[in-house]
Amino acid sequence: MAAALTADFSKAFPGGTVVAAELRLETDTAPVTVLFGPSGSGKTTILRCLAGLERPEVGDIRFGDQMWFDAAVNICLPPQQRRIGYLFQEYALFPHRTVAQNVGFALRGTRPARQARIASLLGLLDLDGFAARYPRQLSGGQQQRVALARALATDPQLLLLDEPLSALDAPAREPLRRELRRVLSGCGIPTLLVTHDRVEALALGDRMLVIADGHIRQAGPVHEVFSRPADLAVARTVGVETVIPGRVIAQADGLLTVEVGTARVTACDPGGVEGDVFLCVRAEEVIIERGPLARMSARNHLNGRIVAMNPEGPLFRVTVDCGFPLAALITRPACEDLALAVGEAVTAVVKATSIHLIPRDDLVRRRAV
């Protein structure tokens, strides 16, 4: 039996809200799965049900061959028996205990063994020298790392992270996002991460589940879900844009050259981006050209053929295969003027500033100062 977390349950709240989840997490490959959705869509409820902090009314939850919850036979393992690491949104550090006591809170074994484990976790999360501090004496980012160290301490078989970065202010988020990615891919523990932040989802997730109105609407690799939403509800939730994996191959004068599929594009360097990236382009910002090009300021002129045209209200979503599929939103009169049709050769024009890069590299990392 393949190791996986499978869940199919629903929980009703007074007032008529129902949160339903049908999901499957492969746990032998240990990827990070992002549970993505707007605030109030039921993400945290799903996480709490998986942790055993809430009890669904119907359905079941299994982890590998362990039955965690089964409404039919009235089984509901308490959180203590699920061996999970849960990271709360506001971290929930014990205020009456120091950093070391927080991290070692649930550790068993001899005192030297516990201290060694605490020291190695503090080292892993860059918290050396903070062991004797109280949570109140730490910054938000440091608290987050302590909470993560505490969740990792007991060697959980599943990590559940509830909006791990949302309690931080924007400047602190970027370096911590990389740190989190490094720790998550390094520890090899299957992870379900809840977020409503698309950059967080793209930067941290391998796979993605989109939830809207209390139901999981789509599951798949992160960039696929972003590029090809299954229905309108998902499209509204994720915000439509082209998201394609690429690789930075050159850097000069604040500009990066990124290899995407068979094409090369130029993008602005947001700083510290190297190696693997996700390249994001909003369809509104792509221009379609035919015929000889005038001299333009836009850096990217991508030749390709139209592979799809889908009407969207007064607009057409035109997908061009220019070494990778790129979507453009074009008005109807513009389509008629240019006589656009599937199979026609066109040039897609994108400004370097319209290309957003999200770093995906785990190996090369830089400390933000």
Partner 1 sequence: MDWAAITLSVQLSTWTTLALLVIGMPIAHWLAFSSWRWKFLVEAVVALPLVLPPTVLGFYLLLALSLRSPLGQMYLKLTGATLPFTFQGLLIASIVYSLPFAVQPFTAAFAAVDRRLIEASWSLGVSRRATFFRVIVPLARHGLVTGMVLSFAHTLGEFGVVLMVGGNLPGITRTVSISIYDDVQALNYSTAAQTSLLLLVISFLVLAVTYALQRNLRTPWLLH
List residues binding partner 1 (CB under 8 A): 51-53, 78-86, 88, 90, 92-96, 105-106, 134-137, 150-151, 153-154
Q: How far apart are CB 172 and partner 1 at their closest, in Å?
A: 21
The smaller minimum CB distance to partner 1, of residues 53 and 329, is found at 53
For residues 77 and 329, which CB has a smaller minimum distance to partner 1 in the complex? 77
Nearer to partner 1, 111 or 136 (CB): 136
How far from 317 is each of 219, 240, 309, CA to CA, in Å?
23, 11, 6
Nearer to partner 1, 153 or 320 (CB): 153
Q: What angle in degrees, to the nearest 10, is found between the helix axes of 111-124 and 140-153?
A: 130
CA 175 to each of CA 83, 124, 189, 305: distance values in angstroms, whole numbers, following the listed order: 29, 15, 21, 39
The bridge status of strand 315-321 relative to strand 325-331 is antiparallel
| Shortest distance in whole angstroms from residue 150 CB to partner 1 | 7
Nearer to partner 1, 139 or 310 (CB): 139
**Closest distance between partner 1 and the C-beta of residue 19, in Å?**
18
User: What residues are paired with 279 via a beta bridge?
Assistant: 244, 357
Residues 6 or more apart whose Cβ sits within 8 Å of residue 256: 248, 250, 266, 267, 268, 269, 273, 357
Name which of 5 and 93 has its Cβ closer to partner 1. 93
CB of 47 or CB of 216, closer to partner 1: 47
Q: Give min distance, CB of 131 to partner 1, in A.
A: 14
Least distance (Å) between residue 262 CB and partner 1: 47
Closest CB to partner 1 among 115 and 257?
Answer: 115
CA distances from 133 to 25, 107, 136, 271, 300 (A): 37, 19, 8, 33, 51
Nearest to 48 by CA among 61, 38, 37, 39: 61
- Let me know: does 356 contact 318? Beta carbons within 8 Å: no
Nearest approach, Cβ of 73 to partner 1 (angstroms)? 23
Q: How far is the CB of 277 from partner 1 (least distance, A)?
A: 34
Which residue type does 156 have? Answer: P
3-state SS string over 118-158?
HHHHHHHCCCCCCCCCCHHHCCHHHHHHHHHHHHHHCCCCE
Shorter beta-carbon distance to partner 1: residue 130 or 199 = 130
Shortest Cβ distance from residue 79 to partner 1 (Å)? Answer: 4
131 phi and psi, to 5 degrees? -55, -35
CB of 154 to partner 1, least distance (A): 6
Q: In whole angstroms, how close is the CB of 4 to partner 1 at the nearest point? A: 21
Inter-residue contact 154 to 121 (CB < 8 Å): no
* DSSP structure class, residue 20: E
Within 13 Å of residue 110, how many CA atoms lie on the same side as its CB?
3
Nearer to partner 1, 22 or 54 (CB): 54
- DSSP assignment of 189-243 equals --EEEEES-HHHHHHH-SEEEEEETTEEEEEEEHHHHHHS-SSHHHHHHH---EE
Name the amino acid, one letter, at 206. D
